[in-house]
Amino acid sequence: MDLAIEVPMIVDWPATWSKWNMFNTCHWKFYLHEGSKFITGKAVIPFATNRAMQLGEQKHELYERAASSLQNGYKIPEALQQNPLWNPKIGEIISGLIGLYPNPVVEQKLGVDSTWRAWSLGEYWGPDKSLFGDRKMLFRAKFDFSVFNDSIWKEPTHGVIIDYKSGKVRKEEIGKQLALYALIAFCRWPSLQRVDCSYLFVDHNVRQDQIYYDHDVPGLKRLFAQRALGMQQYLLESSKQLPISDVNAGNCYWCAATMNQCIKSTKEV
């Protein structure tokens, strides 16, 4: 399968799923959070965490530590299981996946570049994870937990990729973020024939699966090429002229922009 070609790298800015999602929701909101940071070095609305995000991070860490213990041949530590955030059903799912294939990977950072080849962030970023190397990426992602039927340094043909989600179950997301994960996996390991991607809603014992096959790759590439180009073009144009006319009202209820920051003040609409 030919994975070389395709998307010109217009600006040196690797997108994540959440950044694309924000761009899709409202271009101006994206400018306030991301575009301004890219262009001026300082975001109009800097990143801010909240209680729900902190709790989500704690749950991620809990299951990552559990998977690491199992990966190293130990039991899940009692202290983790006593943590009030621990969900034993999720522990069982992680144990089952490690039992399925003996090549688990906890927290894997990967990306696809403009030729849709994949490079790990470890190879790509400088030691402080802020400097760009020679390779440029269009999209990057972090797989929370994955297992493969062969070593990731060899030629696996089947992989399972898990994304932990905290909070309520959101069915509409299926197939979007997971599609990006599948694309990155197929690009990183061209030997893969099938990738099972799942959201694991750790507060609800719910697992949502989406299976991708190697024949899905051309469609996935077309989908994300369009998205990458849209954002890259927007950033290029924003660096020449402030894109004030390009505002579409997104989900304003959840937006951190003040009335003054939102050019159209659409919160009142």
- If one asks whether residue 26 binds ligand SF4 (CB under 6 A), the answer comes out as yes
Region from 75-83, 167-175, 224-232, 248-256 binding ligand SF4, contact rule CB under 6 A: 248-256
- Find the binder of ligand SF4 among 80, 206, 242, 252 (CB under 6 A): 252
- Find the binder of ligand SF4 among 72, 190, 249, 260 (CB under 6 A): 249
- If one asks whether residue 267 binds ligand SF4 (CB under 6 A), the answer comes out as yes
Q: How far apart are the first and last CA of the chain?
A: 49
Region from 103-111, 140-148, 217-225, 245-253 binding ligand SF4, contact rule CB under 6 A: 245-253
Region from 99-107, 140-148, 233-241, 246-254 binding ligand SF4, contact rule CB under 6 A: 246-254
Taking the least distance from each CB to ligand SF4, the nearer of 26 and 185 is 26
H helix intervals, 31-159: 36-40, 51-71, 78-82, 88-100, 121-124
Region from 9-17, 133-141, 148-156, 259-267 binding ligand SF4, contact rule CB under 6 A: 259-267
Region from 26-34, 55-63, 124-132, 219-227 binding ligand SF4, contact rule CB under 6 A: 26-34
- If one asks whether residue 28 binds ligand SF4 (CB under 6 A), the answer comes out as yes
**Phi, psi dihedral angles at 15 (to 5 degrees):** -85, 155
Edge-to-edge strand ranges of the sheet holding 137-148: 118-120, 104-113, 137-148, 158-165, 194-201, 206-213
Separation between Cα atoms, residue 59 and residue 202, nearest integer Å: 8
Taking the least distance from each CB to ligand SF4, the nearer of 35 and 250 is 250
Separation between Cα atoms, residue 193 and residue 186, nearest integer Å: 8
The least CB distance from residue 22 to ligand SF4, in Å, is 9
Classify the phi-psi angles of 265: left when phi > 0, otherwise alpha if psi is within -120 to 50, otherwise beta.
left
- Find the binder of ligand SF4 among 19, 29, 60, 221 (CB under 6 A): 29
> What are all long-range contacts of 115-120, with beta carbons under 8 Å and residues at least 24 apart?
115/3, 115/4, 115/5, 115/6, 116/3, 116/4, 116/5, 116/6, 116/7, 116/183, 116/187, 116/221, 117/3, 117/4, 117/187, 118/184, 118/187, 118/188
- If one asks whether residue 250 binds ligand SF4 (CB under 6 A), the answer comes out as yes
The site for ligand SF4 (CB under 6 A) is made up of 26, 28-29, 247, 249-250, 252, 255, 257, 262, 264, 266-267
